Structure 1
């Protein structure tokens, strides 16, 4: 009787701990989330056993918290254990716990720079979604898009384009051709096409994305709008259309400034490219403040000795020498 009562009390404590975990992660209280997940895991092992399905949730939260803290190997250990439990229970990748676990494992491997393993996991996840009796088309589009971007980074352009085109078609069917998800899919496709040297096709995709994103004024859309405008600017600049490129770079900076209360690190490349363009036009006085801004962002984000920071500093110093008259 006492054992049953103790077990029931411990089970309730486990459930209360689990209920607290999502809020801790959402509020970015990482250390508290990991500690609470660890405590829930210990209780769960005591109540349910070391291989119980109930353990996957605290293990997932532990892994997510550790990833947020930059502890990739510790995160992978917790995530791998959760995956082993879920796979053993399911015997197939359609087990409902597995998609989120595979996504988290892929994020951990990607953060650690292991793109081959990340790609393998996304392929496995996509195959699992496709085998479901009632496939989640939104999830399939998301995973196909992520896999396409990864393959694009690995210079596997043909397969990347096919996957991103599939992601776009599915996204348009699920959310609509003028939706924010469709704009993001167009941006992703355009980015990979540009990297593969398909400038005209890339520009068309990016212009379509920009057209959708400029229809509204939602703050959440401005970050991706800025990136699309920047990428399109690099394409038109390469074709010699300097004035159009300058306008796009400036619009990208405005979008970045409207996306967050503080200037994001993603603004840095646009500041540098616009500075380079203005220098090429002979407008050195306008370029120097842009380099200064980019330099301050780089120093805050990467540190004063990072190669990117040093490169921006070199641009700034070269521009200052061009501005200063030669000594007599």
Structure 2
């Protein structure tokens, strides 16, 4: 069996090596040859641990390639075999663990849970309920439970994993970080920011003790804690923690300046700085993102355009529409060359520029750009899509000031309302705001019979949101 395991590992390593070297077709040929051979054995009546172990490696290979459709059929074959195998078969626990993970990736959570439960039972009976070997399976089970909304049960399992690791590794082991991070992320998702802050604080203490306060991993832990503090309403504390984290990560050379994780952290901090009223600091950070991207990736990289848009949005917030216009025109010029003038992505800076020109009282230019963005979005997303609704809403504001016919503007607003009702629900805040505009236009046009039922509906929505704010 040890020799067989070695052969399986060699097969998987060879597949990975082929893919990493760009020989994807060769990897598929190798996997297919092994599949045909084992399928022949299965059809001949050989349905034991060796056959399912080979299928396991083939399935992992196809997962690595990204062919998830074939993985599903392989899992069906494997399931039929493992169901008939006894729990004491060698390699079975590893195979079940892989199956649980693959089912989870395919979002077949019910089967994933069944497989994880079986492997947990196998390991418990073999090694006891506090064995370190249970950790991976329990983490897999907890992740599935969190994905299907059973957060309470997932939290219980994460705590069990933490207890097992504390017993086996000690209370300050770096091995605790993975389950603690997963637990903290689940608390954030469930809106339990206080609990999340406590968990991420513990991670920071562990990393600081194990690696020292100037290690890049400590910086990463600070970012997680900052995120929790922000969710908990401690925005100023979060800002200072984010700034310290970025400094530690940069000084330790833990990751390169142009790394996407570092980039996202800078963007998150810039957004937070804007929220707490420190827009100038936020802009400086966005300008840093722009310069780093230009240096390492060039002006035609998608990230460069993203940073231009973020910076333009920052200038718009500070009412510096002239600078926002300049940046948006650079953005449009780049995108026209890289993705073409009719690509749906170009409609976003185009619409943003239209709104900016509206604020600069250049309404005819603004109308032309918004109409162009609307046309692109109708083709790309459909006439009843949310991006189209957004463009229509902007168009109404511009054409109102241009003196467009009220009847035409009312029809546009009704169209926006229908889109928002479908996308956000009939009692959403977006619907309430558009409904207010519709009622106003009906009043201007003297269409009282249409106005009264909508006015009553608007009144009910306002009452609902007033009570929500008071609560």
* TM-score (structure 2 length as normaliser): 0.57
Counterparts in 2 of 1:58 and 1:211: CA distance versus 1, 3 Å: farther
Match of 1:52 in 2: 173
Match of 1:164 in 2: 286
Counterparts in 2 of 1:277 and 1:147: CA distance versus 1, 3 Å: same
Alignment equivalent of 2:427, drawn from 288, 304, 326:
304
Contact 2:357 2:363 in 1 (8 A): yes
Counterparts in 2 of 1:237 and 1:61: CA distance versus 1, 3 Å: same
- Whole-Å separation in 1 of the counterparts to 2:161 and 2:331: 44
Alignment equivalent of 1:71, drawn from 171, 192, 205:
192
Contact 2:222 2:241 in 1 (8 A): yes
Counterparts in 2 of 1:126 and 1:268: CA distance versus 1, 3 Å: farther
- Whole-Å separation in 1 of the counterparts to 2:199 and 2:379: 38
Counterparts in 2 of 1:83 and 1:260: CA distance versus 1, 3 Å: farther
Shift of 1:50: 2.2
Q: Does 1:116 align with 2:239?
A: no
- Whole-Å separation in 1 of the counterparts to 2:383 and 2:215: 41
Shift of 1:106: 2.9
Shift of 1:268: 6.2
Shift of 1:127: 0.7
Matches within 5 A, 1:92-103: 92-96=213-217, 98-103=218-223
Structure 1: runs of 5+ lacking an equivalent: none
Task: Please list every run of at least 4 consecutive aligned residues from structure 1 whose deviation after the TM superposition is greater than 6 angstroms.
Answer: 19-22, 259-262
Match of 1:104 in 2: 224
Counterparts in 2 of 1:309 and 1:92: CA distance versus 1, 3 Å: same
Shift of 1:236: 0.4
Contact 1:144 1:164 in 2 (8 A): yes
Shift of 1:294: 4.4
Match of 1:89 in 2: 210
Contact 2:442 2:448 in 1 (8 A): no
- Whole-Å separation in 2 of the counterparts to 1:188 and 1:109: 24
Deviations 1:68-98 (A, max 9, x none): 23332232222222222222222214242x3
- Whole-Å separation in 1 of the counterparts to 2:192 and 2:383: 28
Number of equivalent positions: 314
Match of 2:162 in 1: 41
- Whole-Å separation in 2 of the counterparts to 1:78 and 1:72: 10
- Whole-Å separation in 2 of the counterparts to 1:129 and 1:172: 21
Q: Does 1:195 align with 2:278?
A: no
Match of 2:353 in 1: 232
Shift of 1:153: 3.1
Contact 1:125 1:143 in 2 (8 A): no
- Whole-Å separation in 2 of the counterparts to 1:256 and 1:74: 45
Match of 2:251 in 1: 131
Q: Does 1:216 align with 2:339?
A: yes
Match of 1:179 in 2: 301
Shift of 1:233: 1.8
Contact 2:161 2:179 in 1 (8 A): yes
- Whole-Å separation in 2 of the counterparts to 1:59 and 1:262: 44
- Whole-Å separation in 2 of the counterparts to 1:55 and 1:92: 18
Counterparts in 2 of 1:246 and 1:73: CA distance versus 1, 3 Å: farther
Deviations 1:215-236 (A, max 9, x none): 328xxx967x555333322210
Contact 1:86 1:95 in 2 (8 A): no
Alignment equivalent of 1:320, drawn from 428, 442, 456:
442
Deviations 1:188-214 (A, max 9, x none): 111112222322221121222334445
Structure 2: runs of 5+ lacking an equivalent: 1-125, 450-471
Deviations 1:152-173 (A, max 9, x none): 3333343333222111000122
Match of 1:274 in 2: 395
- Whole-Å separation in 2 of the counterparts to 1:284 and 1:132: 62
- Whole-Å separation in 2 of the counterparts to 1:174 and 1:132: 19
Matches within 5 A, 1:225-264: 227-252=348-373, 254-255=376-377, 258=380, 263=385
CA RMSD of aligned residues (A): 3.7
